[in-house]
Structure 1
Amino acid sequence: MAESVHRAAVRTARSVVVKIGTTALTTPTGEFDTARLQRLADAIEARMAAGSDVVIVSSGAIAAGMEPLGLSKRPKDLATKQAAASVGQVALIRAWSAAFHRYGRTVGQVLLTAHDVAMRSQHNNAQRTLDRLRALHAVAIVNENDTVATNEIRFGDNDRLSALVAHLVGADALVLLSDIDGLYSGDPRKATADRPARFIPEVAGPQDLADVIAGTGSRLGTGGMVSKLSSALLAADAGVPVLLAAAAQVEAALSDASVGTVFAPRGRRMSARRFWLRYAAEAAGALTLDEGAVRAVGQRRRSLLPAGVTEAAGYFHGGDVVELRGPDGTVVGRGVVAYDAAELALMLGRSTADLPVELRRPVVHADDLVAY
Structure 2
Amino acid sequence: MDQEMTQDQLRRHVATARRVVVKVGTSSLVNPDFSVSREKIDRIVDALEARMSAGSDVIVVSSGAIAAGMAPLGLKARPRDLATSQAAAAVGQVHLAQAWGESFTRYGRAIGQVLLTQADAGRRDRARNAQRTIDRLRQLGTVPIVNENDTVATSEMRFGDNDRLSAIVATLVSADALVLLSDVDGLYDRPPSDPQARFVGEVRSGNDLQDVAAGDGGRLGTGGMAAKVSAARLAARGGVPVLLTSAERISDALTTADVGTVFHTRPSSRLSAWKFWALYAADAEGVLRLDAGAVQAVTGGGTSLLAVGITEIEGDFHRGDIVEILGPDGETIGRGEVAYDAPELQLMLGKQTGDLDLSQRRPVVHADYLSNYASRV
> TM-score scaled by structure 2?
0.95
Structure 1 range deviating more: 25-34 or 274-283: 25-34
Q: What residue in structure 2 maps to residue 237 of structure 1?
A: 237
Rounded to whole Å, the distance in 1 between the matches of 2:201 and 2:272 is: 28
Q: What is the DSSP-based 3-state SS (H/G/I as helix, E as strand, rest coil) of the residue aligned with 2:72?
A: coil
Q: Which residue of 1 aligns with 2:150?
A: 146
- 1:124-135 matches, within 5 Å, as 124-135=128-139
How far residue 336 of structure 1 moved from its aligned partner, in angstroms, is: 0.7
Aligned-residue offset at 1:296: 2.1
- Indicate yes or no: 2:179 matched with 1:175: yes
Does residue 305 in structure 1 map to residue 306 in structure 2? yes
Residue identity opposite 1:262 in structure 2: V
Which residue matches 2:260?
260
1:146-165 correspondence runs (5 A): 146-165=150-169
- For 2:212, the aligned partner's letter is V
Residues 119-164 of structure 1: CA deviation (Å, up to 9, x unaligned): 1110111011111111111100000000000101011110000000
In the alignment, residue 236 of structure 1 is paired with which amino acid?
A
Corresponding position: 1:82 with 2:83: no
Partners of 2:86 and 2:151 within 8 A in 1: yes
- Report matched runs for 1:95-134 at 5 Å: 95-134=99-138
User: What does the per-residue CA deviation read over 1:29-51, in whole Å, with 9 as the maximum and x for residues that have no partner?
Assistant: 44321110110000000000001
For the residues of structure 2 that align with 1:145 and 1:308, how far apart are their CA atoms? 40
Q: 2:67, 2:220 within 8 Å by CA — same for their partners in 1?
A: yes
Q: Within 2, Cα distance between the matches of 1:300 and 1:167?
A: 23
Q: CA deviation at 1:6?
A: 1.4
Deviation at 1:169, TM superposition (A): 0.5
Q: Which residue of 2 aligns with 1:291?
A: 292
Distance in 2 separating the partners of 1:273 and 1:287: 20
Matching residue of 1:334: 335
**Which one-letter code corresponds to 1:360 in the other structure?**
R
Of 11, 15, 28, the residue aligned with 2:15 is: 11
Quote the RMSD (CA, aligned, Å).
Answer: 1.3
> Hey, what's the Cα distance between the residues in 2 that align with 1:300 and 1:259?
38
* TM-fit CA distance, 1:3: 6.2
- Give the whole-Å Cα distance in 1 for the aligned partners of 2:116 and 2:370: 26
Q: Which moved more, 1:134-143 or 1:313-322?
A: 313-322
CA contact (8 A) 1:238 1:266 kept: no
Report if the CA contact (8 A) 2:148-2:162 is conserved.
yes
Partner AA of 1:121 in structure 2: D
Q: Percent identity?
A: 60
In structure 2, what is the Cα distance between the partners aligned to 1:186 and 1:344? 50
For residues 108 and 271 of structure 2, the distance between their equivalents in structure 1, rounded to whole angstroms, comes to: 36
Q: In structure 2, what is the Cα distance between the partners aligned to 1:109 and 1:93?
A: 7
Q: Please give the alpha-carbon distance, in whole angstroms, between the structure 1 residues aligned to 2:307 and 2:205.
A: 37
CA contact (8 A) 1:26 1:36 kept: yes
1:60 to 56, 64, 67: 64
Q: Distance in 2 between matches of 1:58 and 1:15?
A: 17
Of residues 48-57 and 128-137 in structure 1, the stretch that sits farther from structure 2 once superposed is: 128-137
CA distance in 1, matches of 2:62, 2:239: 22
Unaligned runs of 5+ in 2: 1-5
Instruction: Letter of the 2:187 partner, please give it.
Output: L
8 Å Cα contact 2:79/2:85 also seen in 1: yes
| Number of residue pairs matched by the alignment | 367
Q: Could you tell me which residue of structure 2 aligns to residue 40 of structure 1? A: 44
Aligned-residue offset at 1:181: 0.7
Contact 2:24 2:180 in 1 (8 A): yes
Q: Quick one: which amino acid aligns to residue 137 of structure 1?
A: G
Secondary structure in 1 matching 2:153: coil
CA distance in structure 2 between the partners assigned to 1:334 and 1:5 by the alignment: 34
- Partner residue of 1:344? 345
Q: Which amino acid in 2 is paired with 1:290?
A: D
TM-superposition CA deviations, 1:9-28 (whole Å, max 9, x none) = 11111000000000111224
- Cα displacement string for residues 280-317 of structure 1 (whole angstroms, at most 9, x for unaligned residues): 01112211112222222221411111011111122222
Tell me, what secondary structure is at the counterpart of 1:65? Answer: helix
TM-score (norm 1): 0.96
Contact conserved, 2:7 with 2:262, CA < 8 A, in 1? no
Letter in 1 for 2:134: L
Q: Distance in 2 between matches of 1:237 and 1:264?
A: 9
Residues 303 and 246 of structure 1, relative CA distance in 2, 3 Å threshold = same
Report what 1:225 is aligned to: 225
CA distance in 1 between counterparts of 2:340 and 2:204 reads 41
Deviation string 1:244-291 (CA, Å, 9 cap, x unpaired) is 100011100111111111101121543221111111011122111122
Instruction: Tell me, in whole angstroms, the C-alpha distance in 2 between the residues paired with 1:267 and 1:5.
Output: 15
Q: Residue 358 of structure 2 aligns to which amino acid in structure 1?
A: V
Q: Secondary structure in 2 aligned to 1:57?
A: strand
Could you tell me how far 1:174 is from its partner in structure 2? 0.2
Deviation track 1:193-247 (CA, whole Å, cap 9, x = no partner) reads xxx2211011112221110111111101111011101000000111111001000
